[in-house]
Structure 1
Amino acid sequence: MAILPITVYGDKILRQKTQPVQSVSDDLIVMIKNMLDTMRNAKGVGLAANQVGINKSVFIVDLKGVEGYEKFRPMIFINPEIILHSDEKVVIEEGCLSLPNLRADVERSKMIKIRYLNTDEELMELEADDFLARVILHEYDHLIGKMIPDRVAEDVKSKLQNELKLIKNREVDIDYPITQL
């Protein structure tokens, strides 16, 4: 498969609502496999299609390398919809492959329920909590054009401006390919 360049802050596609998948084709399966390879190469736990420049409502999650999730199998979410958020919120520091070297505390629901299609085009529902819920919500945000800076308080956002400028200008030291200006 292929390692794809990851889109970073400043790339317009990250701010657009993604388009629904009409059907699961062979091309889509290849794209998903490339996304998995790309995510693993970058040592991520999730990746949305628009993070590799593809305007499709698809994201993947693989927590296998995370302590406590060693038996986890990669999950593919096609045309996902969050159908339930818990009122209980948790604040935890997050990072993002499209925001290299940037980390910020983000408040998210502790538990969610998501509806999505799998690669067999079966409608699925999943209840998730804790870290899995957080990763799903983070990747879902990408599909609706949201990123970490949109989920933090204004004072935190203003403190991130220098880092965001460096990322936008591709002035970051990372070991995975990103899109170029």
Structure 2
Amino acid sequence: MVREIVVYPDKRLKLISKEVELFDGALHDLLDDMFETMVQSNGVGLAAIQIGVDQRVLIINEPNEDDLQLKENTLEMINPVIIEKSGSTKYQEGCLSVPGYYEDVDRYKAVKVEYRDRDGNTHTIEDDGFLAIAMQHEMDHLDGKVFVEKLSFTKRKRFEKEWKKRQKAS
């Protein structure tokens, strides 16, 4: 089921998500709904809080060479924790909760993340490319942070001004 995406500055985006303790049918339904919602919205990642569920759950699905997002290629991460990080990089990011706005964000170049899958099994994943950026971006959501909060003071002020103007226009 496609769910409504929570849009900035909705206060729910500031919530710190709770650890998942039950790896049950309700979690599986949430993950399935998140996938449908993300694909419908042309996103590559989605945190549960972005559909109003404050649980430490996120998904990432980079389109393949045919520009398709196959469900079986979805990285489902429950209770993810960065256990190693190194380097730094800048990457232009956007967000389904801040539609139509893109800006360069400073991130770690490489991360190693430990997480659980939908069945509760523990996994570790390492990356120093787009996936590393996407994992950091989505994990920020779990801690109540949206990427625009990482912008410099000047860029943040410009964003707030543009965003308010756009909200009034719609």
Q: Same fold (TM over 0.5)?
A: yes
Does structure 2 conserve the Cα–Cα contact (< 8 Å) formed by 1:80 and 1:115? Answer: yes
Structure 1 residues 127 and 156 mapped into 2: Cα distance closer, same or farther (>3 Å)? same
**Counterparts of 2:169 and 2:105 in 1: how far apart (Å)?**
24
Match of 1:142 in 2: 141
**Counterparts of 2:47 and 2:65 in 1: how far apart (Å)?**
19
**Structure 2: gaps spanning 5 or more residues:** none
- Tell me the secondary structure at the aligned position of residue 140 of structure 2: helix
Of residues 155-164 and 93-102 in structure 1, the stretch that sits farther from structure 2 once superposed is 155-164
Structure 1 residues 171 and 148 mapped into 2: Cα distance closer, same or farther (>3 Å)? farther
Match of 2:119 in 1: 120
CA RMSD of aligned residues (A): 2.1
How far did residue 44 of structure 1 move? 0.3
Q: Does residue 48 of structure 1 match 2:50?
A: no
Per-residue displacement from partner, 1:76-112 (whole Å, max 9, x unpaired)?
Answer: 00011111111x2111111000001111110111110
Match of 2:152 in 1: 153
Amino acid at match of 2:7: V
Does structure 2 conserve the Cα–Cα contact (< 8 Å) formed by 1:24 and 1:121? Answer: yes
Structure 1 residues 76 and 110 mapped into 2: Cα distance closer, same or farther (>3 Å)? same
- Tell me the secondary structure at the aligned position of residue 139 of structure 1: helix
TM-score, length basis structure 2: 0.92
Does structure 2 conserve the Cα–Cα contact (< 8 Å) formed by 1:95 and 1:103? Answer: yes
**Aligned ranges for residues 49-88 of structure 1 at < 5 Å?**
49-65=48-64, 73-86=73-86, 88=87
- Tell me the secondary structure at the aligned position of residue 28 of structure 1: helix
**Counterparts of 2:117 and 2:63 in 1: how far apart (Å)?**
19
Does structure 2 conserve the Cα–Cα contact (< 8 Å) formed by 1:102 and 1:163? Answer: no
- Tell me the secondary structure at the aligned position of residue 73 of structure 2: coil
Match of 1:108 in 2: 107
Per-residue displacement from partner, 1:35-63 (whole Å, max 9, x unpaired)?
Answer: 00000000000000000000100000000
**Counterparts of 1:54 and 1:139 in 2: how far apart (Å)?**
14
**Counterparts of 2:45 and 2:102 in 1: how far apart (Å)?**
15
Percent sequence identity is 32
**Counterparts of 1:161 and 1:97 in 2: how far apart (Å)?**
17
Aligned length: 169
Which one has more relative contact order, counting CA pairs under 8 Å at least 6 apart?
1
**Structure 1: gaps spanning 5 or more residues:** 173-181
